[in-house]
Chain A
Amino acid sequence: MRALRGTKQLTLAGLLSTVRSKAALFWTLAFPIFLLVIFAFIFGGGDGDRVSYLLPGLWTITVISASFFGLSMVMVQERENGTFRRYRVTPVSPVAVVASFAIVQLLTLTASLLLQSLVAKLAFGITSQGSVLLVVLMLFLGCLAFVPLGLIVGSVARDMKIAPVLTNLIFFPMMFLSGAAVPFFFLPKAVQAVARLLPATYLVESVQGVMVRGEGLAQLQAPVIVMLVTAAVGLALNGLLFRWESSQSIPRRNIALAVGGILAIYVVAALVAPELRMAIQPK
């Protein structure tokens, strides 16, 4: 397929750049372990069951921080410094560029999550009440939902001054409201009502559901729907919002469509939202 020509080499180049960059290695490998250790000792007291309870939130933080602060920032940098402009005068398509960013992000994120899980298993002896395969599947769905969402910021943010601001504006509410950093049952009811619209909430809810409450796929319909819709909207918006140069303005119609797409995620979440089981404090 012509639109995908170059994707393989772009992906390889992205992986090589990641492996050769100390900063990228730190955020991919060291930071997730650091996060795990902090969580495990400060909030979990090093206890396996409590770490197993905390881990879904921790994984979620890993997924959304990588999605919003990882390659989406590289995307802004490469647009700002003119690397994208150089690509633009070749026949390579935006689809190939965005796809390669998404694939590299998915692969590095997989490495982060695997390493985090391995250390959690070996050091703290985490256990899952439900199917491990289902945990992996839900995490994969989460990556599929959040990686494209993060890359949207990479297209929308004009430069590296505005990019971290936008990212933080999205990242912190998701982290604190989704139940990832703060147990969901601690949140006031009104805040919970808002949090139920955020896709991150469903990643925590689903993974915790399987790990802690031993739920099966039948009980996870709502999270699966919300995350699939998020992934689909995210992918579509990347197509609408991509630009080679910051000086190119995004057509108004596409901005309107993007806002509509994000709202659609909230509407779907509102429509399918069940009573979140993580809102009940475990005994």
Chain B
Amino acid sequence: MLISVQGLVKRYGELEALRGIDLELEAGGIVGILGPNGAGKTTLVETLEGLRSPTSGRVTVLGRDPASDAPALRERIGVQLQATHLPSDLTTYETLRLFRSFYEAGLQPDEVLSLVDLESKSKARVGTLSGGQKQRLAVGLALVSDPELVLLDEPTTGLDPAARRELHAVVVALRERGRSVLLTTHYIEEAEALCDRVIVMRAGEIVADGSPFELLRRSRGQSTVWIEVAGELDPVPLFQSGAKPEGRQGGHYRFVTSDPAAFVVALGRVLQDQGLELLDLRLKRPTLEDVYLELVGEEPAGDSVAPAGGMS
């Protein structure tokens, strides 16, 4: 067991930042903790890192208690904090060499530079790096000991899309190296693109836990289907699949259904029976964003009309 958390509660005075977290993580893959600001993501991760001590509950990371067994544990985990401040007058290479010296074993600075794609910046002072480069260095520092477990706290927050994608490549490469990654994010598309398992937190509790597809299946949301045919369609037979008509939009008939697979099967039959040609089919499934907003209790932004975007 990589990480085991039982009944973890953390209080700051009146505020209950974590309200009874239970979590088991096996080694391997990328696990994302998704949630809005203030959900308790950082408190949870920093408890795993031994930076915060639980008010109650049991936590083990790699079989050790992070609060009491910190030095031994820190040899084997790599950490990127939400805010990383480093001496600005050292070069990227010197910074990696410094952090490498804290560990018994690990990678050479040059190996880490290539993992985080900063070879060309090895002689640049940390103070002169761009936001994306700084963040990749921060992730690189988490890798100098070649740890079994890498904990990344909002690695892409504040980065532009290109820099974010570069960082995603670094994280995916870690999975390919057989390392376990636990990261926090409040970007849904990041969780969807990167993570094998997504844990959704809200107000100090875990409200959902599963692969992105499992979370999508759990959605109460309906799919919308638009179809365009040559000729007049009699839609009634389609209703047997559970679809409901939503009128027409331009030349398209619009339906909502909770079972798009059954709808498509029914549609094939209808087209054949009525001798119609299908000109266009568009399907909008609930996105992880819809699921997420259902879970964290916010209304999705009003984009229910346009078939553009979010197609699958």
The 8 A CB mask of B201-218 against A (1 = contact, 0 = none) is 000000000000000000
Q: Assess whether A9 is interfacial by the CB under 8 Å rule.
A: yes
B98:A10 contact, CB within 8 angstroms: yes
* Additional pairs, 16, CB under 8 Å, beyond known A6-B98, A6-B102, A86-B81: A5-B101, A5-B104, A9-B100, A9-B101, A13-B95, A17-B90, A20-B89, A82-B81, A82-B84, A85-B85, A89-B50, A89-B51, A90-B99, A91-B104, A92-B102, A93-B71
- Which among A6, A8, A88, A90 has the greatest number of chain B C-beta atoms within 10 A? A90
**Residues of B contacting A85 in the complex (Cβ-Cβ under 8 angstroms):** 51, 81, 85
Q: How many residues of A contact B (CB 8 A)?
A: 24
Q: Assess whether A81 is interfacial by the CB under 8 Å rule.
A: yes
Within 45-97 of B, Cβ neighbours of A (below 8 Å) are at: 49-51, 71, 74-75, 77, 79, 81, 83-87, 89-90, 94-95, 97
B97:A9 contact, CB within 8 angstroms: yes
Q: List 17 A-B contacts (CB under 8 A).
A: A6-B101, A6-B102, A13-B94, A13-B95, A16-B89, A17-B87, A81-B85, A83-B86, A86-B81, A86-B85, A88-B51, A89-B49, A89-B50, A89-B74, A89-B79, A91-B71, A92-B102
Q: Assess whether B17 is interfacial by the CB under 8 Å rule.
A: no
Q: Assess whether A249 is interfacial by the CB under 8 Å rule.
A: no
**Residues of A contacting B97 in the complex (Cβ-Cβ under 8 angstroms):** 9
Provide the bound-state CA to CA distance between A6 and B98, in Å. Answer: 7
**Residues of A contacting B103 in the complex (Cβ-Cβ under 8 angstroms):** 90-91
Report A161 CB to chain B, min CB distance, Å: 18
Report A85 CB to chain B, min CB distance, Å: 6
**Residues of B contacting A87 in the complex (Cβ-Cβ under 8 angstroms):** 102
Q: Assess whether B183 is interfacial by the CB under 8 Å rule.
A: no
Provide the bound-state CA to CA distance between A202 and B148, in Å. Answer: 54
Q: Assess whether B18 is interfacial by the CB under 8 Å rule.
A: no
Which applies to chain B's interface (DSSP): helix, strand, loop or mixed? loop
Provide the bound-state CA to CA distance between A13 and B79, in Å. Answer: 21
**Residues of B contacting A281 in the complex (Cβ-Cβ under 8 angstroms):** none
Q: Assess whether B141 is interfacial by the CB under 8 Å rule.
A: yes
B89:A82 contact, CB within 8 angstroms: no
Q: Which residues of A contact B (CB under 8 A)?
A: 5-6, 8-10, 12-13, 16-17, 20-21, 78, 81-83, 85-93
Q: Closest residue to A10 on the B side, CB-wise? A: B98
Interface size class of B (residues with CB under 8 A): 20 to 34
**Residues of B contacting A8 in the complex (Cβ-Cβ under 8 angstroms):** 101
A89 with B81, Cβ < 8 A, contacts A10-B98, A13-B94 known: yes
**Residues of B contacting A91 in the complex (Cβ-Cβ under 8 angstroms):** 71, 74-75, 102-104
B89:A21 contact, CB within 8 angstroms: yes
**Residues of A contacting B83 in the complex (Cβ-Cβ under 8 angstroms):** 82
Provide the bound-state CA to CA distance between A8 and B101, in Å. Answer: 8
Report B69 CB to chain A, min CB distance, Å: 12
Report A82 CB to chain B, min CB distance, Å: 4
**Residues of A contacting B49 in the complex (Cβ-Cβ under 8 angstroms):** 89
Report A197 CB to chain B, min CB distance, Å: 38
**Residues of B contacting A13 in the complex (Cβ-Cβ under 8 angstroms):** 87, 90, 94-95, 98
Provide the bound-state CA to CA distance between A238 and B127, in Å. Answer: 30
Provide the bound-state CA to CA distance between A10 and B100, in Å. Answer: 11
**Residues of B contacting A82 in the complex (Cβ-Cβ under 8 angstroms):** 81, 83-85
**Residues of A contacting B51 in the complex (Cβ-Cβ under 8 angstroms):** 85, 88-89
- Which among B49, B51, B102 has the greatest number of chain A C-beta atoms within 10 A? B102
Q: Closest residue to B71 on the A side, CB-wise? A: A91
List of 8 A-B pairs having minimum Cβ-Cβ separation, nearest first = A9-B101, A92-B102, A89-B79, A20-B89, A90-B102, A82-B85, A81-B85, A6-B102
Provide the bound-state CA to CA distance between A91 and B73, in Å. Answer: 8
Provide the bound-state CA to CA distance between A134 and B95, in Å. Answer: 40
